[in-house]
């Protein structure tokens, strides 16, 4: 049934006006000219026409051309759009900031602020949607979870899959599920209007996307819809692809982006110390280049970002009064919301913004005002090492296409400059494209999702790029080890429980284990998992002097059992802090920013455990300072999930993994660094020069061998 206030003609925005406070309407009106100036604006009618006749649209356009913000607004008043529009994002940051932006542009409240809110978002551990949400930005993971609950996606009129070029595993799964859905292979419930699928990408690999959906079309028709959605400027090749596509009810549309020339500057010699080089260039630019003109620096992760942030602030303190100010703003996935939002705010008077970002800012988030880009040429990526059977985080050179995207960020509003912290030769040796995640990462979560959604034959799932059989089998085995699958390969009770949590199967398994009556340490484990959801709760310190000072201050938090219990104590103390948490953090060299995120995740996980009936309502304060027995129970749970990440000490004092026989060393960031114990369990493998185990705890060797024996 259609909502009563639904009209098919004219914009409905004016209708809402009566219920909306004037400041929202004022903002909406102020933003309208900005929207109209976006490259996608003139294509609105073409896009609407395309979706009138076709159910699938592949839309390509440079980052910043207005795809994510405008497309849902173009569609919201279409006659077929009686329900909500879902727009997926690879990252939380983007989902939230886009929802805010679109709410502003529509003059609407946001999310759960008001029952009348038209725009909302749903990200892991944070749901801000209401009964009248019509435009919903959500992370890919959240859409997958919704797909588990409602395979026909009957709550949506359209699903927009954005940032497809990033090719996350989740996007590949979503595309596979949607392809099955639109071909009617799956139980498409009786819908008044067929589900519209819009696939959006910043880099044009239209051909393979069209082919992917085309192959799935049951009965291609040669009928040409009115208003062929091809822009005049579209290249011949694209027009060709498009006309084929039209024949099978798929449209394509291409939006030309705005791009000013960007000058590229390479380093004459390669460097390892990007932080130092970036710092130098930032201050050179700041002294030399006129304002306005913000600087965007691409770094690898939270650690390097916070390190550089600190250095900039230290140096900026020493600047003369007559020099404009510098404002360093970090941007990474685990950043709390209010900090993310600061990126979009204009810089204060006589201040230059320096945004320190991970590859989030490559395409996901468009930061206005940037004229200078500094690119370290690396990013941290997840890589599954088949031979070792382990997934690790590696700092790797980016691809040429990523480097080009990064550079492009400098030329959106005016001519810009891009400083590459590598040599031209270095650039020439980069891969052309980034390898899709599905071809290089651990597939166990993906497969668990598929199993939970009733896909039994994962080897024959429609993948845009088929992962190697070996990788699929490894993942199946891993799930079997976690007891998430039964011997026959179907999903088990435990597997179903795990699949309901937005966690990796490993962490999900830890959680499920902790809820068992004989373990009884769920609250503690939730605290630890929450702390593991951020890159680092402890501040990363650069100078030796500061490091020593921090060691001293944190000593009271350290536990001899290792990092997991240390994290537990840190979270518990922080949560129990009554006076001033910020001061407590400063005193212990703990990142207040990270802890805010941790507390939010903790709350959400507790709520989810209550929904799953693993936890009762009165049960929300974990016992401070866990007893010996409880500590052992917690570590036994960790071990149950992380059984592939265990190592034993060799006679020569080195550690070797039990499954894989790989040499690892305890990472210097661990409280166990330098200690010799009989066996360890750890969270992740980091390769920097050698193989490091990060997030480490002591376990008894006979426990490990017992679990290993049981599953082998």
Closest separation between CB of residue 328 and ligand ADP, Å? Answer: 19
CA distances from 64 to 22, 123, 448 (A): 28, 22, 35
Query: Tokens 């990788």 map to which residue?
Result: 471
Q: Which stretch binds ligand ADP (CB under 6 A): 96-104, 131-139, 552-560, 588-596?
A: 96-104
Q: Which stretch binds ligand ADP (CB under 6 A): 66-74, 400-408, 457-465, 693-701?
A: 66-74
Judge whether 444 and 479 are in contact, CB under 8 Å.
Answer: yes
Q: Is 63 in the site for ligand ADP (CB under 6 A)?
A: yes
**In 3-state terms, what secondary structure has residue 515?**
coil
Task: Determine which residue in the list 266, 283, 315, 344 makes contact with ligand ADP, applying CB under 6 A.
Answer: 344
Radius of gyration of the chain (CA): 26
Closest separation between CB of residue 46 and ligand ADP, Å? Answer: 16
Task: Determine which residue in the list 16, 43, 89, 97 makes contact with ligand ADP, applying CB under 6 A.
Answer: 97
Q: What x/- string results for residues 348 through 377 when contact with ligand ADP is judged by CB under 6 A? A: ------------------x-x---------
CA dist., res. 136 & res. 96, Å (int): 10
CA dist., res. 16 & res. 118, Å (int): 10
100 or 420: CB nearest ligand ADP:
100
* CA angle 127–129–133, rounded 5-degree value: 155
Q: Is 211 exposed, middle or buried (0-12, 13-18, 19+ CB in 10 A)?
A: middle
Closest separation between CB of residue 380 and ligand ADP, Å? Answer: 23
Task: Determine which residue in the list 100, 509, 581, 667 makes contact with ligand ADP, applying CB under 6 A.
Answer: 100
Q: Which pair of tokens denotes residue 556?
A: 């009271």
User: What is the per-residue DSSP string for 179-216?
Assistant: HHHHTT-S-----SSPPEEEEEESS--HHHHHHHHHTT
Q: Is 99 in the site for ligand ADP (CB under 6 A)?
A: no
Task: Determine which residue in the list 67, 196, 380, 406 makes contact with ligand ADP, applying CB under 6 A.
Answer: 67
Q: Is 68 in the site for ligand ADP (CB under 6 A)?
A: yes
What H or E segment, with its residue span, contains residue 373?
strand 370-375
67 or 474: CB nearest ligand ADP:
67
CA dist., res. 480 & res. 498, Å (int): 13
65 or 417: CB nearest ligand ADP:
65
Q: Is 467 in the site for ligand ADP (CB under 6 A)?
A: no
367 or 531: CB nearest ligand ADP:
367
Task: Determine which residue in the list 20, 51, 58, 98 makes contact with ligand ADP, applying CB under 6 A.
Answer: 98
164 or 285: CB nearest ligand ADP:
164
- Which residues pair with residue 135 across a beta bridge? 85, 119
- Number of residues binding to ligand ADP, judged by CB under 6 A: 17
CA dist., res. 592 & res. 582, Å (int): 6
Q: Is 406 in the site for ligand ADP (CB under 6 A)?
A: no
105 or 375: CB nearest ligand ADP:
105
Site for ligand ADP in 683-712 (CB under 6 A): none
CA dist., res. 354 & res. 315, Å (int): 13
Judge whether 530 and 571 are in contact, CB under 8 Å.
Answer: yes
Residues with Cβ within 8 Å of 330's Cβ and at least 6 positions away in sequence, in order, are 302, 305, 306, 309, 339, 355, 356, 357
Judge whether 211 and 180 are in contact, CB under 8 Å.
Answer: no
363 or 483: CB nearest ligand ADP:
363
Query: Tokens 């019509």 map to which residue?
Result: 134
Closest separation between CB of residue 69 and ligand ADP, Å? Answer: 3
Q: Is 411 in the site for ligand ADP (CB under 6 A)?
A: no
Task: Determine which residue in the list 65, 252, 570, 683 makes contact with ligand ADP, applying CB under 6 A.
Answer: 65
229 or 695: CB nearest ligand ADP:
229
Closest separation between CB of residue 331 and ligand ADP, Å? Answer: 12
CA distances from 262 to 61, 369, 398, 407 (A): 19, 14, 19, 7
Q: Is 64 in the site for ligand ADP (CB under 6 A)?
A: yes
Task: Determine which residue in the list 16, 50, 59, 61 makes contact with ligand ADP, applying CB under 6 A.
Answer: 61
Judge whether 322 and 334 are in contact, CB under 8 Å.
Answer: no
Q: Is 405 in the site for ligand ADP (CB under 6 A)?
A: no
Closest separation between CB of residue 364 and ligand ADP, Å? Answer: 8
66 or 416: CB nearest ligand ADP:
66
Closest separation between CB of residue 652 and ligand ADP, Å? Answer: 53
Q: What x/- string results for residues 13 through 52 when contact with ligand ADP is judged by CB under 6 A? A: -------------------------x--------------
Closest separation between CB of residue 263 and ligand ADP, Å? Answer: 22
Judge whether 146 and 184 are in contact, CB under 8 Å.
Answer: no
Closest separation between CB of residue 33 and ligand ADP, Å? Answer: 13
Q: Which pair of tokens denotes residue 598?
A: 């941790």
Q: Is 111 in the site for ligand ADP (CB under 6 A)?
A: no
- Angle, helices 92-106/22-36, rounded to nearest 10 degrees: 110
* CA angle 30–31–37, rounded 5-degree value: 120
Task: Determine which residue in the list 91, 101, 165, 640 makes contact with ligand ADP, applying CB under 6 A.
Answer: 101
CA dist., res. 684 & res. 641, Å (int): 12
CA dist., res. 63 & res. 74, Å (int): 18
Q: List the beta strands (DSSP E) in 153-292.
A: 156-161, 196-201, 250-255, 262-266
Q: Which stretch binds ligand ADP (CB under 6 A): 67-75, 178-186, 454-462, 678-686?
A: 67-75
314 or 345: CB nearest ligand ADP:
345
Residues with Cβ within 8 Å of 481's Cβ and at least 6 positions away in sequence, in order, are 643, 644, 711
69 or 358: CB nearest ligand ADP:
69
Closest separation between CB of residue 180 and ligand ADP, Å? Answer: 26
Task: Determine which residue in the list 69, 217, 234, 252 makes contact with ligand ADP, applying CB under 6 A.
Answer: 69
Q: Which stretch binds ligand ADP (CB under 6 A): 60-68, 457-465, 499-507, 654-662?
A: 60-68
- Angle, helices 563-576/592-611, rounded to nearest 10 degrees: 90
367 or 438: CB nearest ligand ADP:
367
Q: Which pair of tokens denotes residue 540?
A: 């990363």
Q: Which stretch binds ligand ADP (CB under 6 A): 98-106, 150-158, 373-381, 416-424?
A: 98-106
**In 3-state terms, what secondary structure has residue 410?**
helix
Judge whether 570 and 536 are in contact, CB under 8 Å.
Answer: no
CA dist., res. 80 & res. 528, Å (int): 46
101 or 554: CB nearest ligand ADP:
101
**In 3-state terms, what secondary structure has residue 600?**
helix
Closest separation between CB of residue 104 and ligand ADP, Å? Answer: 8
- Judged by the rule CB under 6 A, the positions of this chain that interact with ligand ADP are 38, 61, 63-70, 97-98, 100-101, 344, 366, 368
């Amino acid at each position: 049934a259609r909502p009563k206030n639904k009209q098919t003609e004219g914009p409905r925005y004016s209708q809402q006006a009566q219920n909306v406070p004037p400041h929202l309407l004022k903002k909406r009106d102020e933003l309208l000219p900005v929207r109209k100036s976006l490259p996608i604006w003139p294509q609105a009618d073409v896009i609407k026409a395309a979706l009138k006749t076709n159910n699938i649209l592949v839309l390509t356009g440079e980052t910043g051309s207005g795809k994510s913000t405008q497309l849902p607004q173009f569609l919201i008043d279409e006659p077929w759009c009686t329900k909500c529009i879902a727009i997926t994002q690879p990252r939380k940051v983007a989902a939230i900031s886009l929802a805010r932006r679109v709410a502003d542009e529509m003059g609407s409240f946001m999310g759960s602020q008001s029952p009348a809110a038209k725009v909302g978002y749903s990200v892991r551990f944070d749901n801000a949607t209401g009964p009248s949400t019509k435009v919903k930005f959500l992370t890919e993971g959240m859409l997958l979870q919704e797909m588990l609950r409602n395979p026909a996606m009957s709550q949506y009129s359209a699903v927009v899959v954005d940032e497809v070029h990033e090719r996350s595993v989740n996007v590949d799964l979503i595309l596979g599920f949607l392809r099955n859905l639109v071909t009617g292979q799956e139980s498409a419930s009786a819908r008044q209007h067929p589900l519209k699928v819009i696939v959006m990408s910043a880099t044009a690999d239209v051909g393979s996307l069209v082919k992917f959906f085309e192959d799935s079309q049951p009965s291609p028709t040669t009928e040409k819809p009115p208003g062929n959605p091809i822009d005049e400027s579209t290249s011949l090749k694209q027009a060709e692809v498009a006309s084929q596509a039209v024949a099978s009810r798929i449209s394509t549309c291409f939006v030309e982006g705005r791009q000013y020339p960007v000058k590229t500057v390479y380093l004459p010699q390669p460097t390892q110390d990007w932080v130092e080089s970036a710092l130098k260039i930032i201050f050179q630019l700041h002294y030399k280049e006129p304002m306005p003109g913000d600087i965007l620096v691409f770094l690898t992760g939270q650690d390097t970002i916070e390190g550089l942030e600190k250095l900039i602030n230290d140096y900026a303190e020493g600047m003369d009064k007559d020099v404009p100010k510098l404002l360093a703003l970090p941007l990474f996935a685990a950043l709390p919301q209010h900090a993310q939002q600061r990126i979009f705010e204009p810089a204060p008077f006589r201040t230059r913004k320096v945004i320190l970002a991970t590859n989030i800012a490559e395409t996901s988030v468009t930061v206005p005002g940037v004229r200078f880009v500094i690119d370290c040429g690396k990013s941290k990526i997840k890589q599954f090492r088949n031979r070792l059977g382990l997934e690790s985080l590696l700092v790797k050179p980016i691809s040429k296409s990523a480097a080009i995207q990064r550079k492009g960020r400098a030329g959106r509003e005016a001519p810009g400059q891009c400083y590459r912290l590598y040599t031209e030769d270095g650039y020439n040796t980069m891969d052309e494209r980034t390898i899709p995640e599905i071809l290089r990462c651990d597939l166990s979560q993906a497969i668990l999702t598929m199993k939970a959604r009733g896909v039994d034959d994962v080897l024959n799932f429609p993948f845009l790029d088929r992962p190697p059989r070996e990788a699929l089998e490894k993942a199946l085995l891993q799930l079997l080890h976690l007891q998430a699958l039964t011997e026959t390969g179907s999903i088990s009770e435990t597997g179903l429980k795990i699949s309901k949590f937005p966690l990796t199967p490993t962490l999900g398994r830890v959680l499920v284990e902790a809820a068992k009556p004989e373990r009884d340490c769920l609250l503690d484990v939730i605290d630890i998992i929450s702390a593991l959801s951020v890159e680092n709760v402890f501040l990363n310190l650069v100078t030796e002097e500061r490091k020593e000072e921090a060691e001293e201050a944190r000593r009271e938090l350290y536990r001899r059992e290792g990092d997991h219990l240390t994290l537990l104590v840190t979270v518990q103390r922080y949560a129990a802090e009554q006076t001033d948490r910020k001061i407590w953090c400063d005193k212990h060299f703990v990142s207040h920013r990270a802890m805010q995120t941790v507390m939010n995740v903790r709350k959400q996980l507790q709520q989810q455990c209550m929904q799953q009936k693993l936890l009762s309502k009165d049960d929300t304060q974990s016992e401070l300072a866990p007893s010996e027995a409880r500590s052992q129970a917690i570590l036994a749970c960790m071990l149950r999930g992380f059984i592939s990440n265990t190592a034993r000490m060799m006679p020569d004092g080195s550690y070797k993994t039990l499954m894989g026989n790989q040499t690892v060393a305890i990472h210097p960031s661990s409280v166990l660094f330098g200690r010799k114990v009989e066996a360890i369990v750890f969270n992740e493998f980091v390769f920097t020069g050698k193989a490091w185990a990060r997030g480490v705890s002591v376990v008894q060797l006979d426990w490990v061998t017992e679990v290993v024996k049981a599953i082998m």
